[in-house]
Amino acid sequence: MKCRVCRAPAVVEVRRHNAGFCRDCFLGHCRSQVERAVKEHRMMGPDDRVLVAVSGGKDSLALWDILVELGYRADGLYIGLGIDGYSGPSGEQARAFARARGLELLEVDLPADYGYDVRSGAAADRRVPCSACGLSKRHIFDRVAVQGGYDVVATGHNLDDEAAVLLGNVLRWDLAYLARQRPVLPGGEGFPRKVKPLVKLGEREMAAYCVLKGIDYQVEECPMAAGNRHLGYKEALNVIEERSPGAKASFYNGFLERGSELGAGTAAAEREGLHPCPSCGAPTTSAVCAFCKLVEKAGGDPRRRLPVSAR
């Protein structure tokens, strides 16, 4: 197979596009897919200060790399979740990446800074681990971004992630979640804009990007996620994609093009009645926000001062 762009021997095949790419043209393809996503969904401008949420995995490290190459002012934020055998090496990968490129990485550690970890937080708040984890991460992304004056938080959710989440939301017809499943969520009083610039790139492409760029990443998936519903949806979509290349992208892109009104009213209603949490200042509709409740139940302290960029 030859490179679609320059006709040199191809090293990566993207079946969805029925195309092969040589190394340099593939890296260019990834950058241009990010540029297109940013432009199409008006994710951010050249002067925005971007906070990239980096887990140490392939997607978020590739995202940080691409955003810096495209000229964005992008710092990283790593959250240590206190997951045995997983959080340690993930943090190492994020730190090594930042150090090698002279980039700034902010860090928050759940056990050291808040006095709980994903497992104890989930047990105390009677949630599954991924729910306690997601709640904690979203809260910390928002607080660090707002306090640090960042315009936007970027996460490494890719096309496979978003299509799997979409399938789950559609299977339950969960309109509130569908409304929040946009590649851009506008900011508001007390919370930053949130963007997913990798929505046009699949999981395999991000792994290939890291390999071709020599980016070391945490290959192991989180041990607590094993067997969860989301992974089941991913597997189901992979079976469909295998038979019909492009099905995943058309499922997700069709939602963006034609399903955009789904849940719009629900989203607007959710933003009404927001007020600052008396404990941590985050916008909430309850007396105390869900994060503070979780941390208090887990015996930790939600009022910790967050790291602010030194620059």
Interaction site with ligand AMP (CB under 6 A): 53-55, 59-60, 77-79, 81, 137, 155-157, 161
Give the nearer residue to ligand AMP in terms of CB position, either 120 or 155: 155
Nearer to ligand FES, 115 or 245 (CB): 115
**Nearest CB to ligand FES, comparing residues 88 and 265:** 88
CB of 53 to ligand AMP, least distance (A): 3
The entry of ligand FES, Zn ion, ligand AMP, none near residue 118 (CB within 5 to 8 angstroms by kind) is: ligand FES
Q: How far is the CB of 287 from Zn ion (least distance, A)?
A: 10
Q: Give φ, ψ of 51 to 5 degrees.
A: -110, 115
User: From Zn ion, ligand AMP, ligand FES, none, which one binds at residue 78 (CB under 5 to 8 Å depending on kind)?
Assistant: ligand AMP
Q: What string of H, E and C letters represents the secondary structure of the chain?
A: CEECCCCCECCEEEHHHCEEECHHHHHHHHHHHHHHHHHHCCCCCCCCEEEEECCCCHHHHHHHHHHHHCCCEEEEEEEECCCCCCHHHHHHHHHHHHHHHCCCEEEEEHHHHHCCCHHHHHHHCCCCHHHHHHHHHHHHHHHHHHHHCCCEEECCCCHHHHHHHHHHHHHCCCHHHHHHCCCEECCECCECEEECCCCCCCHHHHHHHHHHHCCCCCCCCCHHHCCCHHHHHHHHHHHHHHHCCCHHHHHHHHHHHHCCCCCHHHHHHHHCCCEECCCCCCEECCCCCHHHHHHHHCCCCCCCCCCCCCC
289 binds, among ligand FES, ligand AMP, Zn ion, none (CB under 5 to 8 A by kind): Zn ion
Shortest spacing between CB 60 and ligand AMP, in angstroms:
4
At closest approach, how far in Å is the CB of 83 from Zn ion? Answer: 23
Stretch that binds Zn ion, among 85-93, 106-114, 184-192, 273-281 (CB under 5 A): 273-281
- If contact means CB under 5 to 8 A according to the sort of partner, which of ligand AMP, ligand FES, Zn ion, none does residue 156 touch? ligand AMP
Closest distance to ligand FES from the beta carbon of 224 (Å) = 4
Closest residue to ligand AMP, based on beta-carbon distance:
156
Site for Zn ion contains 292 (CB under 5 A): yes
| Residue 129 beta carbon to ligand FES: minimum distance, rounded to whole angstroms | 4
Q: Which of 21/78 has CB closer to ligand AMP? A: 78
Nearest to 45 by CA among 84, 14, 71: 71
Task: Say which entry of ligand AMP, Zn ion, ligand FES, none residue 292 contacts (CB below 5 to 8 A, set by partner kind).
Answer: Zn ion
CB 61 within 8 A of CB 69: no
Rule CB under 5 A: choose which of 12, 152, 279, 298 binds Zn ion.
279
Compute the C-alpha angle 46/155/223, nearest 5°. 160
Is 136 a binder of Zn ion (CB under 5 A)?
no
Count of beta carbons in the 10 Å neighbourhood of residue 151: 16
Q: What is the dihedral of CA 62, 66, 72, 78, to 10 degrees?
A: 0
- Residue with smaller CB distance to ligand FES, 49 or 58: 58
- Footprint of ligand FES on this chain (CB under 6 A)? 81, 118, 129-130, 133, 222, 224-225
Smaller CB separation from ligand FES, 110 or 280: 110
**Residue 143 CA to chain centroid, in angstroms?**
16
Contact footprint for Zn ion (CB under 5 A): 277, 279-280, 282, 289, 292
